[in-house]
Amino acid sequence: MYIWFFICTLGAIATIPIHFLSVEHLKLQGRYGKEKGTKIGDILGLISGWGFFIFWIGIWISPQPRFSIPILQNLSVSVPTADFSIPMLHLIIFISFLTLGAWLAINGVKQTTLKTAETHRTEKIVTKGVYSIVRHPQYLGGLLAHVGISFLLSASYSLLSTPLMGVLIFLISKKEEKELIREFGKEYEDYKKKVPMLITKAHAL
């Protein structure tokens, strides 16, 4: 019954090496030339980025045990087209986490462009807006949305996978920053000293 959950989890993990390779822009350009190396990096970025996202969706919606927080259990919202009801507390948590996560992610994409988000290749260091709060707002937004959606669907394995998804996002962020330091040097190192990677103080939001 739970095979799809484990397949999607392994699939998300399997995209990480491809992502790592996609952000090695200087290495790819040195090996294949600037134009070809850039194209290869962009293709690998698209494969790893969309692959990770698709498998992440699979983690949310795959068959798995359901849970319910024993608070406000008598209050729920029924889904008319499905034999499914959402506990009111779960819905409140979902809206809270998804709203904040979407705000971070959407603004992150707007400030760097969709192409940069898809290919993991940036032309300049952005330090304003949400990038003055955390260095990886899109990844933090994704993780917050993950928690919210897990509550919406009452998906226990998905919620329990949150630490694993956090570790994967941390590893991706560390690798990207290693390559950004190679490309932008002191400019990015100075930015790192001023802005946290993923965890920030609540008042900064």
pLDDT in tens, 20-50: 999 999 999 999 999 999 999 999 999 999 9
pLDDT of residue 83: 65
pLDDT of residue 81: 57
State yes or no: pLDDT of 143 exceeds 80.
Answer: yes
How far is residue 39's CA from residue 44's CA, in Å, rounded to a whole number?
9
Q: Please report which confidence band the pLDDT of residue 1 belongs to, taking 50, 70 and 90 as the band edges.
A: low
pLDDT of residue 79: 63
Angle between helices 3-22 and 162-184 (to 10 degrees): 10
Three-class secondary structure of residue 76 per DSSP? strand
Q: Residues of 72-103 as b/e, b for ≥16 C-beta within 10 angstroms?
A: eeeeeeeeeeeeeebbebbbebbeebbebbee
CB 24: neighbour CB atoms within 10 A? 18
| 8 Å CB contact between 116 and 65 | no
CB 6: neighbour CB atoms within 10 A? 13
Handedness of CA 136, 138, 141, 146 (dihedral sign): negative
Instruction: Phi first, then psi: give them for residue 51, nearest 5 degrees.
Output: -60, -45
The kind and range of the H/E element at 153 are none
State yes or no: pLDDT of 204 exceeds 70.
Answer: no
3-state secondary structure 77-134: EEECCCCEEEEHHHHHHHHHHHHHHHHHHHHHHHHHCHHHHHHCCCCCCCCCHHHHCC
pLDDT tens figures, 45-78: 999 999 999 999 999 999 999 998 877 666 666 6
Long-range CB pairs of 2-6 (<8 Å, 24+ gap) are 2/62, 2/63, 2/64, 2/157, 4/58, 4/62, 4/63, 5/58, 5/59, 5/62, 5/63, 5/64, 5/157, 5/158
What structural domains and CATH numbers belong to the chain?
3-204 (1.20.120)
pLDDT tens figures, 151-194: 999 999 999 999 999 999 999 999 999 999 999 999 999 999 99
Please give the biggest Cα pair distance in the chain.
Answer: 63
Ramachandran assignment for 154, one of left (phi > 0), alpha (psi -120 to 50 degrees), beta (any other): left
Predicted TM-score (pTM) of the model is 0.88
What is the average pLDDT across 91-113?
A: 93
Q: Please report which confidence band the pLDDT of residue 115 belongs to, taking 50, 70 and 90 as the band edges.
A: confident
